[in-house]
Structure 1
């Protein structure tokens, strides 16, 4: 059974979450028409997002763990996984090194807890995407889909929920608005990033890429 904070987070972020799921590039990811080229371009867009996010997020998470130690939870950086997947597919650099949008990453510990809620929770959707990628493109954990297979070797979502339940929820219960703000920012920022990436990248605006 989920904790009260998780229930509140799920309810208060549902509109932003559903909006992100309807973003054309993410819809294309689960399309039966997905090609390896499409997938490579999508990986590069995700890589740019995490390159912008993680330098601050990793530091903030380390600080949170120093204040609230947990024997099981550790944040596993996604940028190296995405970079490895791009190399496995032989992706040519798009020219974008970082996200074309500016992320708001100057919040409190509660704010970063909301960001982690989104990042760790996304591993659950990654399970379905990983299966689709294996069925459609034949790529797996060691052949270009390590990012979406993170759940295979790191059950971070379960560890994150336990960490939250063991003390973080009580500590931040009076700052739940900041937790929700951080989560909504993450959903909305990734949505805006993908929208802008689609506009700026010629591949996505060509006839080679049509979202279903």
Structure 2
């Protein structure tokens, strides 16, 4: 299954992202509002430069199966940026998507961050200094987070054959690389 293949082959990128965002501080309650702003800013740039491209690359069959209209997050993270008074930034390098398989790999990264973001939102909502924070982006699926992730993995695993694993992985690595180097 391609979802397992991606999990195994992107683990180092996932770990690097957790390190970049000081994830350990989330659980020991030393995470600050500035740390949170960094996560929102970086994820905003990732979504700004990828979401429309990904959705445009995915064909009609994926639009319905993946409920793409419910997976758009750019407007939600823009609300978070506004409420946190984060200045506009630009990415230092472009992001290209070569095909539908790369788009699926990139979507794996975004949907995975949504899954993790739900945990982050729950944890931070119990952390001092986050009383006024609205978690529009990280809380986007609310109680349906698990179902949305399960749906995504099922569609991904059913749609991608082994000969295309490398293209899907290429997309995931591209987006992780973008995310890790966007600052």
Post-superposition offset of 1:139: 4.5
Residues 68, 168 of structure 1: 8 Å contact kept:
no
Higher Rg of the two aligned structures:
1
State the Cα deviation string for residues 138-169 of structure 1 (Å, max 9, x = none).
448xx52111112306532122112124x303
Q: How does 1:1-212 map to 2 (within 5 A)?
A: 4-23=1-20, 25-27=21-23, 30=26, 32-61=29-58, 63=59, 66-68=60-62, 70-71=64-65, 73-74=67-68, 76-89=71-84, 91-93=85-87, 95-96=88-89, 98-103=90-95, 105-136=96-127, 137-139=129-131, 143-152=133-142, 154-155=144-145, 156-165=148-157, 167-169=158-160, 172-193=161-182, 197=183
For residue 207 of structure 1, what is the aligned residue in structure 2?
A: none
TM-score (norm 2): 0.82
Task: List gaps (5 residues or longer) in structure 2.
Answer: none
How far residue 41 of structure 1 moved from its aligned partner, in angstroms, is: 4.6
Using the alignment, how far apart are the partners of 2:124 and 2:37 within structure 1? 12
Taking the aligned partners of 1:176 and 1:71, their CA distance within structure 2 comes to 20
- Stretches of structure 1 lacking an aligned partner (at least 5 in a row): 198-212
